[in-house]
Amino acid sequence: MSDIRVTVWNEFRHENENEFIGGIYPDGIHGAIAAGLREHGFTNVGTATLDEPEHGLTDEVLAQTDVLVWWGHKAHGDVQDAIVQKVQNRVLEGMGLIVLHSGHHSKIFRKLMGTSCSLRWREADEKERIWVVKPSHPIAQGLPPYFENDECEMYGELFDIPAPDDLVFISWFEGGNVFRSGCTFHRGNGKIFYFRPGHETYPLYHKPIIRQVIANAARWAAPAGGPAFPYTKGAINEREPLAPITPKDSKRARIG
Ligand code: ZN
């Protein structure tokens, strides 16, 4: 059981606009991901979607979220910059963020990475083999050496991200490409995990091993309970030293 407070955010457009995709995810992609987390013992899972007021990410929701899961694809541009800023602030304060699949191009992921986060892609129903390349990482807990998706959308290198703090998964694709499929980052007090699988036309978020990875990631990304992020209101001019400083005969100008 885990009382980590998870909010699963989904664009929730494909499922409403396309009958085939709606059939794969009748409760929305967010509904499937939330169900997977509950299967893994998470008792405090909420959801939020793009077309709710404030995209479902009110100050209250964000303040009560330990880990935010992000799925978006075709409407990244519709996400308000002010909300993206609030999410970034919460990540710096220590909220975990799990960015899935096409969320690589979301405003929040690109803002946190500082790069284009672009990649090569192809829709050809090809096979993917995902290798665990950091077996000691908490996100790899309980996984076999590799697992496969029989059909998927290909994502290929170069994936334009900063070097990850840890690389947990590398994907091989039938058509010859490879991709860094599971990457961790730290920003401020917050932990970020990018996980590749999950195009809307494949039922991957119903798949047990994918649900296990997301559950492992939510546990890993939850705040560690260390010292609070000190720079919520900006830099600190620490005028009072912790110990006396010998007076100096300085003519330097002080701007602080
Ligand atoms: Zn996709």
What is the distance in A from the centroid of ligand 1 to the CA of 97? 19
Q: Name the residue with higher pLDDT: 1 or 98.
A: 98
pLDDT at 256: 62
- Ligand 1 centre and the CA of 3: distance in Å? 31
Rounded distance from Cα 101 to ligand 1 centre (Å)? 6
Measured distance CA(248)–CA(246) in Å, rounded:
6
Q: For residue 187, give its domain range.
A: 2-117+182-221
C-alpha 10 to ligand 1 mean position (Å):
14
* Side-chain-side CA neighbours of residue 66 (13 Å): 18
CATH number at residue 81: 3.40.50.880
Angle at the Cα of 240 from the Cα atoms of 239 and 244, rounded to 5 degrees: 125
**From ligand 1's centre to the CA of 252, what distance in Å?**
57
> pLDDT tens for residues 181-209?
999 999 999 999 999 999 999 999 999 99
Distances, alpha carbon 141 to alpha carbons 74, 149, 209, in Å? 32, 19, 11
pLDDT at 103: 98
Note if the bond before 158 is cis, omega within 30 degrees.
yes
The torsion angles phi and psi of 130, rounded to 5 degrees, stand at: -105, 115
Q: Which DSSP string corresponds to 109-170?
A: HHHHH-S----EEEEEEEEEEEEES-TTSGGGTT--SEEEEEEEEEEES----PPPSEEEEE
How far, in Å, from the CA of 76 to the mean position of ligand 1? 13
Q: Give 150 Cα–ligand 1 centroid separation in angstroms.
A: 15
Report the distance separating Cα 244 and Cα 157, nearest Å: 54
Three-state secondary structure call for residue 70: strand
> Per-residue pLDDT tens for 211-238?
999 999 999 999 999 999 999 999 999 9
Closest CA to 37 of 106, 96, 105, 117: 96
Inside any domain, residue 138 = no
pLDDT (tens digit per residue) in 23-64? 999 999 999 999 999 999 999 999 999 999 999 999 999 999
Give residue 253's pLDDT: 76
Residue 92 in any domain: the answer is yes
Q: With respect to residue 239, please indicate whether it lies within any of the assigned structural domains.
A: no
Question: What's the CA-to-centroid distance between 73 and ligand 1, angstroms?
Answer: 7
Is 108 inside a domain boundary? yes
What's the gap in Å between 72 CA and the centre of ligand 1?
A: 9
Alpha carbon of 26 to ligand 1 centroid (Å): 18
Ligand 1 centre distance from Cα of residue 183 (Å): 18
Q: What percent of the chain has pLDDT over 90?
A: 95
Q: Would you state the pLDDT for residue 115? A: 98
For residue 162, pLDDT over 80 is answered with yes
The CA 41 to ligand 1 mean position distance, Å, reads 28
Kindly give the distance from the C-alpha atom of residue 174 to the centroid of ligand 1, in angstroms, as a whole number: 17
Answer yes or no: is 93 within a domain.
Answer: yes
Gap between the terminal Cα atoms of the chain: 49
User: Is 90 exceeded by the pLDDT of residue 152?
Assistant: yes
Distance of CA 1 from the midpoint of ligand 1 (Å): 32
Number of domains in the chain: 1
Rounded to the nearest whole angstrom, what is the distance from the C-alpha of residue 102 to the centroid of ligand 1?
5
Q: Could you read off the pLDDT of 120-129 as tens digits, one per residue?
A: 999 999 999 9
In this structure, is residue 37 part of a structural domain?
yes
Decide if 170 contacts 179 (C-beta within 8 A). Answer: yes
Instruction: Classify residue 33: in a domain, yes or no.
Output: yes
In a domain, 62, yes or no: yes
Average pLDDT in the chain: 97
